[in-house]
Chains A and B, each alone.
Chain A
Amino acid sequence: MNRHVAYTPYHPRWHRQRISTYWWLGRRSYFLFILRELSSLAVAWFVVWLLFLVRAASGAASYQQFLEWTRHPFVLALNIACFAFVCLHAVTWFNLAPQAMVVHVAGRRVPGWIIAASNYAALAFTTAAVVALLLLRW
């Protein structure tokens, strides 16, 4: 290829369309993508929330104070919204996993739905293990 035809940003006669700041509102798939990207903030929020919980676990009074704080309508609404985002994060992540993972068993490629299903199964197993741990302690 002739090197001289490489990308030249300021060619006077080429027409370049500007990309709107709101490009992600134009298509449903772009909007869902942005929601998926934003959901990582919800994941980060739950990490912070867990750190608050760990700090509050040092004494009965501080734990009670933490519970009072989480009952506040604003914190409650934030947690519900973040939970919805975390669910979106998990579902979209699991659904995309088969595209990234190529697994061969006995010389044959494992179908994508089995890879997605195994991710969901791992989630169900971990959730059940955490619930069982909590119930046994009580």
Chain B
Amino acid sequence: MSSHITLRVARYRPEEESESTFEDYDVPCPRDWVVLDGLNHIKDRIDGTLSFRWSCRMGICGSCGMLVNGEPKLTCATFLADYAPGPIRVEPLRNFPVIRDLIVELGDFMGKLTRVKPWIVRQVEKPLSEGEYRQTPEQLDEYKQFSMCINCMLCYSACPIYGLDPHFIGPAAIALAQRYNLDNRDEGASDRMRILSEHDGIWGCTFVGECTKVCPKHVDPAAAIQRYKLQSALDWVKGIVLPRAAS
């Protein structure tokens, strides 16, 4: 295996250019280096102006998501050697505005996350004297998969629906809503349903399924959305058959 590999990195410097361009950098390619190591090597040794987000280096913080050869990936978990002999194309996440180089604007995503109320909603909090809200392992299993989301936005980058209609609330936000709906301590399902059954909510999804394929934490947002649709449809039928019970 060659000891070096070329990273073809997308650059966008808004004060200099109106379109993004590519620059090639030759980086070492030891067996244990990931794409993020290559980018840090460029930043430290070759070109200090290269801008990108990263933090934990271990697939927890969700900040180093980029396109590697066109695929949305966490660059801290994508090994250079797997792409030998290269070159490897590194671009900012698709479907998001680019602020600089590999940094995308995530205000839209953060706004959508808060819209679905991703926290435990209680109609009435029980007093402290009654103790904690208890949960069995089976009740935890109901939502655990959806709680693994690290907000890396790879699913938004893979979703063509979000690309075509930026108002679509998107896979991670819906999966996170489902995480709290399936939590037996939560009482906010009807509040979330009101938001998610709008035009830009669950019905915007046409089940391409790419969100699930690219998810590094195996959250399966596509399943969350389809389960939501099924629930919404059942509620609608119940509302027709048993209007009093539904209200």
Q: Which B residues form the contact surface with A (CB < 8 A)?
A: 12, 14, 18-20, 94, 97-99, 105, 107-108, 110-111, 114, 138, 160, 163-164, 166, 206-210, 212-213, 220, 222-223, 226-227, 229-230
A33 close to B (CB within 8 Å): yes
Known: A24-B160, A30-B160, A99-B226. A15 touches B19 (CB 8 A): yes
Known: A15-B12, A24-B160, A30-B160. A100 touches B223 (CB 8 A): yes
- A86-113 CB contacts (< 8 Å) to partner B: 96, 99-102, 107
Interchain CB contact under 8 A, B209 and A33: yes
A72 close to B (CB within 8 Å): no
How many angstroms from the CA of A34 to the CA of B227 in the assembled complex?
Answer: 22
A1 close to B (CB within 8 Å): yes
Subset of 12 A-B contacts with CB under 8 Å: A1-B110, A1-B111, A6-B107, A7-B166, A11-B105, A14-B105, A17-B94, A29-B208, A29-B213, A33-B160, A96-B207, A99-B222
Q: Closest CB of chain A to B136's CB: distance in Å?
A: 11
A137 close to B (CB within 8 Å): no
Closest 9 CB pairs of A and B: A100-B226, A14-B97, A7-B108, A13-B14, A99-B223, A5-B107, A15-B98, A33-B208, A15-B12
Interchain CB contact under 8 A, B97 and A6: no
Interchain CB contact under 8 A, B108 and A6: yes
Which residues on B sit within 8 Å (CB–CB) of A5?
107, 110
Which residues on A sit within 8 Å (CB–CB) of B14?
13-15
Q: Closest CB of chain A to B36's CB: distance in Å?
A: 22
Interchain CB contact under 8 A, A19 and B229: no
